[in-house]
Amino acid sequence: MATAAVLVTCLAVLAAVLLTRGGPTAPERAAGVPSPAAPATTAGVTTPPAAPPSATSAPPSATKPPTRSATPTARPSATARSKSGSAAAPAGKRTITLVNRLSQTIWPAVAADPKHPVEATGWVLKPGASLSFSIPDHWDVRLWARTGCSFDAAGNGHCLTGDCGHFQCGSTWGEFPSTLAEFNLNAWQGMDFYDVSLVEGNNLPMWINSYGGSSRDKLDANGCSAAGCTRDANATCPAKLQRIRGGHVVACLSACLVFKTDQTCCTGPYAARPQCVPSSWPVDSAAVFKKAEPFAYSYVNDDATSVLTCSGECGYRVTWGVSP
C-alpha cells in the first residue's frame, strides 16, 4: 500500500507540473533576449503546483544598474566540505558550487531573486577553477555563464555570449542564446525543481549534480545519465543555427531565435502540445540539443525527460564542461 501511495503522489506531482507549464511568446524569442512579460520561456518545471509566483516572472530591471561588489576569487570556498566535495551550507541555507572544466575562462552569473537575494550575481572562473557560495533555502532563479567578457574598473562591459552589460548582473537576464541552469528550491512540499535548459539555445555545455538530499541524483559526476553523456552542442550545430564570432562558433541558436515564427516558437496556433512538433521545423534544433545533452530541455515542451527533483535540503554543483 505504501508503494502504491508513493506512486500515486509522484504521478500527481508530474501531472500538476505539466498542467502548469506555460508556453513562450514570439516577441521575446524573436528578439533573442528575455521579455519581462514572458517568463514561460524558462523551463516550466520551475513553477510547480501551489508554489508562490516564480521570481523569474517579475520584470527584470534593465534600467537600475546592479550594485558593484568586490570581485570574488575563483578559488573554492574555505567553508567546511561535504562528502560530495562541495562546501557545507550554514543553517537555513544551501550551498551551490560552480565548476569550470572547460579550457576557457567563463563568467557565471545569476538573475537575482529579489525576494531571496544573494551577496553576488557575477563571478569569474578560470579553467579548472571552482567556487562555492550560500543560497537561500527558498531560491527561484536562472544561472548561466558568459564567455569572452571584458569589464572596466566600474564593472561595466560586454561579453560575446550571455551578456548582461555588467560584471554583476543584478536582476538583469543574460542575452540569448545561453545555456541555463534553473532552480526553484522548496517549491512544493519540500521538493526542489531544477533543470538544464537549452530552450533559448546553447553557448556552453553544462550539467547539474545534486547531493545531500534523500533523492538519488540521475547524473553522475561526469555529466552522464542513463540516456547519455554531456557533449557540446556548438560542435554539431547546423550552419543555419550557428552564431559565429571571430571565425568560431560561440553559440547554437534555437530554431525559434532564428526563424521567429509561431511554429518554431510553439506559440499562437502551435501553442498546444500536439501542434508543437520540432521535427516539422525548418531545422530541428531540439534534436541537436537533445543529442548533446539528453537530460536537458531541448524545447519548451520537453518535460518528460527533463524534470529533475530533489528532496531533503539538497546542495547543488553546476559544472561547465563535457563528459570525459
Distance CA 102, CA 123 (A): 16
How confident is the model at residue 87, as a pLDDT?
52
Per-residue pLDDT at 10 exceeds 90: no
Grid coordinates standing for 238? 547546423
Q: Is the pLDDT of residue 216 over 70?
A: yes
pLDDT for 289 beyond 60: yes
The pLDDT tens digits for 92-134 are: 689 999 999 999 999 999 998 888 888 899 999 999 999 999 9
Given a cut of 50, is residue 38 above it in pLDDT? no
Lowest-confidence pick of 62-71, 100-109, 154-163, 290-299 = 62-71
Region 231-257: mean pLDDT is: 97
User: Is 136 or 291 the better-scoring residue by pLDDT?
Assistant: 291
Say yes or no to pLDDT of 45 above 70: no
> Which range has highest mean pLDDT (16-30, 56-70, 162-176)?
162-176
Q: Confidence class of residue 91 from pLDDT cuts 50, 70 and 90?
A: low
Q: Which domains does the chain have, with CATH numbers?
A: 2-57+93-320 (2.60.110.10)
pLDDT (mean) for 52-62: 33
The pTM for the full model equals: 0.75
Which stretch of DSSP H or E encloses residue 140? strand 140-146
Interatomic CA distance for residues 265 and 288, integer angstroms? 16
Position 101 scores a pLDDT of 98
The residues near 103 (Cβ < 8 Å, ≥ 6 apart) are: 127
pLDDT for 64 beyond 70: no
Give the β-pairing of 157-158 and 107-111.
unpaired
4 has pLDDT over 60: no
* Helices assigned H by DSSP within the chain: 2-20, 26-31, 255-259, 262-265, 285-292
Q: What is the pLDDT of residue 92?
A: 67
**Cα diameter, the chain:** 63
The predicted pLDDT at position 89 comes to 52
Higher pLDDT, 232 or 304: 232
DSSP state of 3: H
